[in-house]
């Protein structure tokens, strides 16, 4: 840490931090590449906005036509420290020159151990921990389930309505939404059970977090069986499902009940982790110490890396050789993680996320007051969203309006702001700017959103 603090941590990004459109979006060069994409890449791999990126840094993506777009997506909550952050680029480049791979299970190296030490230190709780590294969020989720089953000797895994945990066979079973994630891809893994989430905006009548937890717990007790349940796996703020923030007390009640019943409380912080929500991990907002925590995305500044971190007794219950994979904890990805973690701490990106929240949330609430189509404004830190409903239904049916959400998002794209949608009903616009986004780009992006909402 001191070594990099001596250098300029926040060194100037290589890309001018200014929105600038020089062609239509997408421009002709992107369109040519997209024609090749359609001919060469499986149609199953979609692209939301076919601008082909050439460079990116800070809060800007530059496409092959020279357009500079404001980034409100961070590649789905990955580039928390900024794209091609100079410190990440430097350490990754150095590692590539030293060695690119040995396989940690064959001949190990220090960076893997350092990443695990950092995770054990940074994740909630001061108890003794261990970590294991993987390549993707879904792979880490799968491994958390393996570990939970091994430790408890139980099979059942409980997940929640609107939850998202990945696209592999086990994690498809854990993911709630059928299209596009599951349709036609079954049969799915067994012993996965879904129970009701606390989704304050969509409760038929207001209920407290404790009441929503009691509802979920009753479902587990009656439909799954407490003694059969290995783990409850939950996103403290749901990501793909619509940035659903459960009512206060919901997570704490579930975690306490898990602890009383020998069920592991597993937090999927793949999207919420690494300062994104204005805390290093979202569990901290409610003082929750999960038995295991799953991380990925923001962990390594854009390099593919994921982890499971948990109580030492749980993590060490697995027989030697029971966890692994050729690339898990690849040294280049680990170098990216060590740089990203230094940046998150050194630049205090937890505070940066809170500053983004104070600017953005106020503006989104202002917009909601003026637009009857905004049913709800929610989220924490730099993980904020608006839920779009048919005008006039906000106080009554709250009927989702995915077409309007898509229209607003497309209008933002046309004006040079990369926004994403999400949600079970596809009607949520979500905002995930890099935590290093300059203030003027944040403000400009919000102005453009306001214009897009106005239609
Ligand atoms: N758990 C909470 O958000 C990934 C998926 C995008 P992988 N979310 C983005 C898409 O359409 O595939 C995610 C997540 C949570 C697990 C995952 C899975 O992480 O690294 O995509 O496997």
CA of 307 to the centre of ligand 1 (A): 13
% of residues, the chain, pLDDT over 70: 97
Q: At 194, is the secondary structure helix, strand, or coil?
A: strand
Which ligand 1 atom is at minimum distance from the Cα of 240?
Answer: 3
Average pLDDT, the chain: 97
Q: Are 267 and 283 in contact (CB under 8 A)?
A: yes
Residue 16: count other Cβ atoms within 10 Å of its Cβ: 12
CA of 366 to the centre of ligand 1 (A): 31
Average pLDDT, integer, range 23-48: 98
Residue-by-residue DSSP string for 67-132 = -EEEESSHHHHT-TT-BT-HHHHHHHHHHHHH-S---TTTS--HHHHHHHHHHHHHSS-SS-EEEE
What token pair was written down for 347?
Answer: 């630049």
CA of 426 to the centre of ligand 1 (A): 16
Domain with CATH 3.90.1150.10 in the chain: 2-81+348-454
Domain with CATH 3.40.640.10 in the chain: 89-346
Average pLDDT, integer, range 31-53: 98
User: In sequence order, what are the residues at sequence separation of 6 or more whose Cβ sits closer than 8 angstroms to the Cβ of residue 133?
Assistant: 104, 112, 115, 116, 305, 306, 307, 328, 329, 334
**pLDDT of 306 above 50:** yes
* φ, ψ dihedrals at 37, nearest 5°: -60, -45
Instruction: Choose one of 239, 272, 283, 299 to mutate for the ligand 1 pocket test, by most ligand atoms within 8 angstroms of C-beta.
Output: 239
Residue identified by tokens 């791979």 is 101
**pLDDT of 1 above 60:** no
Distance CA 32, CA 52 (A): 10
Element (H, E) at 374: strand 374-380
Residues 353-375: tens digit of each pLDDT: 999 999 999 999 999 999 999 99
Q: Is the backbone of residue 75 left (phi > 0), alpha (psi -120 to 50) or beta?
A: left
- Beta strands (DSSP E) in 163-305 are 192-195, 229-234, 264-268, 292-295
Instruction: Choose one of 79, 168, 271 to mutate for the ligand 1 pocket test, by most ligand atoms within 8 angstroms of C-beta.
Output: 271
pLDDT at 12: 66
Residues 88-111: tens digit of each pLDDT: 999 999 999 999 999 999 999 999
Cross-strand pairs, 194: 159
Read off the DSSP letter of residue 323.
S
**pLDDT of 3 above 80:** no
**pLDDT of 9 above 80:** no
CA of 166 to the centre of ligand 1 (A): 5
CA of 270 to the centre of ligand 1 (A): 7
CA of 423 to the centre of ligand 1 (A): 13
Distance CA 83, CA 220 (A): 42
- Reported as a pLDDT band with limits 50, 70 and 90, residue 6 is very low
**pLDDT of 5 above 80:** no
Instruction: Choose one of 297, 421, 422, 423 to mutate for the ligand 1 pocket test, by most ligand atoms within 8 angstroms of C-beta.
Output: 297
Sheet of strand 192-195, all strands in order from the earlier edge strand to the far edge: 129-134, 306-311, 292-295, 264-268, 229-234, 156-160, 192-195
% of residues, the chain, pLDDT over 90: 96
Average pLDDT, integer, range 169-180: 98
Q: Are 342 and 123 in contact (CB under 8 A)?
A: no
CA of 275 to the centre of ligand 1 (A): 17
Which ligand 1 atom is at minimum distance from the Cα of 166?
Answer: 18
Instruction: Choose one of 76, 272, 277, 294 to mutate for the ligand 1 pocket test, by most ligand atoms within 8 angstroms of C-beta.
Output: 76
Residue 6: count other Cβ atoms within 10 Å of its Cβ: 8
CA of 3 to the centre of ligand 1 (A): 33
Q: How many CA atoms lie within 13 A of 127 on its CB side?
A: 16
Average pLDDT, integer, range 118-139: 98
pLDDT at 11: 67
Q: Are 289 and 300 in contact (CB under 8 A)?
A: no
Return the C-alpha torsion angle 79, 251, 142, 336, nearest 10.
20
Question: pLDDT higher for 334 or 4?
Answer: 334
Residue-by-residue DSSP string for 33-52 = HHHHHHHHS-TTS--SS-PP
Residues 319-349: tens digit of each pLDDT: 999 999 999 999 999 999 999 999 999 999 9
Average pLDDT, integer, range 45-72: 97
Distance CA 283, CA 315 (A): 20
**pLDDT of 299 above 90:** yes
Distance CA 73, CA 196 (A): 28
Q: How many CA atoms lie within 13 A of 41 on its CB side?
A: 10
pLDDT at 133: 99
Q: Are 277 and 237 in contact (CB under 8 A)?
A: yes
pLDDT at 2: 39
2-81+348-454 is a CATH 3.40.640.10 domain: no
**pLDDT of 53 above 90:** yes
User: In sequence order, what are the residues at sequence separation of 6 or more whose Cβ sits closer than 8 angstroms to the Cβ of residue 252?
Assistant: 209, 286, 287, 288
CA of 169 to the centre of ligand 1 (A): 13
User: In sequence order, what are the residues at sequence separation of 6 or more whose Cβ sits closer than 8 angstroms to the Cβ of residue 66?
Assistant: 20, 22, 23, 27
Which ligand 1 atom is at minimum distance from the Cα of 297?
Answer: 20
Average pLDDT, integer, range 52-79: 98
**pLDDT of 56 above 90:** yes
What token pair was written down for 200?
Answer: 């304050």
**pLDDT of 4 above 80:** no
CA of 274 to the centre of ligand 1 (A): 15
User: In sequence order, what are the residues at sequence separation of 6 or more whose Cβ sits closer than 8 angstroms to the Cβ of residue 52?
Assistant: 26, 29, 30, 33, 34, 63, 64
Q: How far is CA 268 from CA 59, 234, 240, 244, in A?
A: 26, 6, 12, 14
The residue whose CA has the least distance to atom 7 of ligand 1 is: 137
* φ, ψ dihedrals at 157, nearest 5°: -125, 130
The fold of the 89-346 domain, in CATH, is 3.40.640
Q: Which residues line ligand 1 (CB under 6 A)?
A: 76, 136-138, 141, 164-167, 235, 239-240, 268, 270-271, 296
């Amino acid at each position: 840490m001191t070594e990099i603090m001596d250098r300029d941590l926040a060194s100037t990004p290589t890309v001018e931090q200014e929105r600038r459109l020089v062609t239509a979006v997408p421009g002709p060069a992107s369109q040519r590449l997209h024609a090749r994409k359609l001919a060469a890449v499986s149609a199953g791999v979609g692209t939301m906005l076919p601008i082909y990126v050439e460079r990116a840094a800070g809060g800007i993506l530059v496409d092959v036509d020279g357009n500079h777009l404001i980034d409100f997506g961070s590649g789905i909550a990955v580039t928390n420290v900024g794209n091609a952050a100079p410190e990440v680029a430097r350490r990754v480049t150095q590692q590539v020159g030293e060695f690119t791979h040995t396989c940690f299970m064959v001949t190990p190296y220090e960076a893997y151990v350092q990443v695990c030490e950092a995770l054990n230190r940074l994740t909630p709780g001061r108890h003794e921990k261990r970590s294991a590294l993987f390549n993707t969020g879904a792979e880490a989720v799968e491994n958390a389930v393996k570990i939970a089953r091994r430790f408890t000797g139980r099979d059942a895994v409980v997940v929640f309505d609107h939850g998202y945990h990945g696209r592999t066979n086990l994690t498809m079973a854990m993911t709630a939404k059928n299209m596009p994630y599951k349709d036609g891809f079954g049969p799915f893994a067994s012993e996965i059970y879904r129970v009701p989430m606390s989704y304050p905006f969509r409760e038929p009548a207001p209920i407290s977090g404790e009441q929503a937890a009691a509802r979920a717990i009753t479902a587990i007790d009656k439909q799954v069986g407490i003694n059969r349940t290995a783990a409850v796996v939950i996103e403290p703020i749901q990501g793909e499902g619509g940035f659903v923030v459960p009512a206060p007390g919901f997570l704490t009640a579930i975690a306490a009940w898990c602890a009383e019943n020998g069920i592991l409380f597993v937090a999927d912080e793949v999207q919420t982790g690494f300062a994104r929500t204005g805390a290093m991990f979202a569990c901290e907002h409610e003082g929750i110490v999960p038995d295991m925590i799953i991380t990925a995305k923001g962990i390594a500044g854009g390099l593919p890396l994921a982890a499971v971190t948990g109580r030492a007794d749980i993590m060490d219950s697995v027989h030697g050789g029971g966890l692994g994979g050729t690339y898990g904890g690849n040294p280049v990805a680990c170098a990216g993680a060590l740089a990203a973690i230094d940046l998150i701490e050194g630049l205090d990106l937890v505070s940066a996320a809170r500053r983004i929240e104070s600017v953005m949330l106020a503006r989104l609430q202002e917009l909601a007051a003026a637009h009857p189509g905004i049913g709800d404004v929610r989220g924490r830190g730099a993980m904020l969203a608006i839920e779009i409903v048919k005008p006039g239904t906000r106080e009554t049916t709250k009927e989702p309006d995915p077409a309007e959400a898509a229209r607003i998002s497309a209008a933002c794209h046309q004006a040079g702001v990369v926004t994403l949608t999400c949600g079970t009903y596809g009607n949520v616009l979500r905002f995930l700017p890099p935590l290093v986004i300059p203030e003027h780009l944040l403000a400009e992006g919000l102005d453009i959103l306001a214009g897009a909402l106005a239609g």
